[in-house]
Amino acid sequence: MLTDSGGFQVMSLSALRKITKDGVKFRSHIDGSLHYFTPESVMEIQTALGADIIMSFDECPPYPATREYVEKSLYTTLDWAERGLKAFNNHDNQALFGIVQGGIYEDLRQKSALALMDLDFPGYSIGGLAVGEEKKDMFRITEFLNDILPSEKPRYLMGVGTPSDLLNNVARGVDMFDCVMPTRNARKGSIFTRNGKMIIKAARYKEDFSPIDPECTCYACQNFSRAYIRHLISMNEILGMRLATIHSLYFYQELMAMIREAILEDRFDDFYHEMLPKLDQLI
C-alpha cells in the first residue's frame, strides 16, 4: 500500500486552506471544522495507516504559476521534507519518499532533487506534473531528472496517467505511477486496451459480441461481450462500470508487466516503438 501526504489537496482545495510556514489549515467542506496538518502529523497519520510506502508533506504548486511562487513553494516543500524525515521513526517497516517539486523550471527541479538526495530518502517522487502543463513539458522534466536522481533508487511519477504516458515516462527513467484515470474513465465508458482507447458506448459496438480485447484474460473479457458491457453502461448499470474498471486496471497491470519483461530481455526500444502508436489510437 502507498499513501500520499495530502500535498495535492493543498493545491486542489486552495479555496479551503491556508498555507503557513508550519503547515496547512483546512476548512472542512462538510461541516466547516478546522483541520491542521504539519509535516510531523502527516508522518504520524501515514505511519498509523501502515502503508508500505509513504510520502513527505509537500506543497504542489498550481499550473500556471509564476517562477517566484514556484520557488517559494519549493523551499517550503524542502523544509517540510526535512522536518518529516526527522519525525519519521518507522524505517524498518515503511519507505519514506521525498517529493521533487519545481514546476516546469529545470534549475528549480535540480535544486529540489539535489537537496532531497542530500537527505538520502529511500525513494524519490516527482510531483507537480500532470496538473495542466503540456505533455512536452512533462516529458522534458522527467527526462531532465533522469540524469540527476540516483538510478539505484525508485522513482515515482505522481498522478500519471494514460497508457502512453506510462510508456513514455518509463523511457525517461520512471519506475512507478499512480492515477485515477483507468477507473474514472472506465466508469464513463472509456476503456484502455493494448490496441488503443475504446469508447464502449459507441453505436458500432451495439451488436459486437466479441470481448473488449480478444487477447486479454481479465474477468470482463473472458465472460462478457462489448455489446453487453455497452448496454450496461448505457443503462447506467453499475455492473457495466465495474466490468470496464476491471478490464482497464487489469490492462494497466499487464502493460507494466510487459514493460518489465521487455526491459529484462533488453528489447525495450523495440517494444516502445511497436506499442506506442497503438496506445494513442482510438478504436
* Residues facing 34 on adjacent strands: 27
CB-based contact 156:126 (threshold 8 Å) = yes
In the set 4, 58, 165, 213, the catalytic residue is 4
Q: What are the φ/ψ torsions at residue 95 (nearest 5 degrees)?
A: -110, 120
C-alpha 13/C-alpha 27 separation (Å) is 9
22 a catalytic residue:
no
178 a catalytic residue:
yes
In the set 22, 79, 178, 208, the catalytic residue is 178
Phi-psi region of 116 (alpha: psi -120 to 50; beta: other; left: phi over 0): alpha
Catalytic residue numbers, as ranges: 4, 178
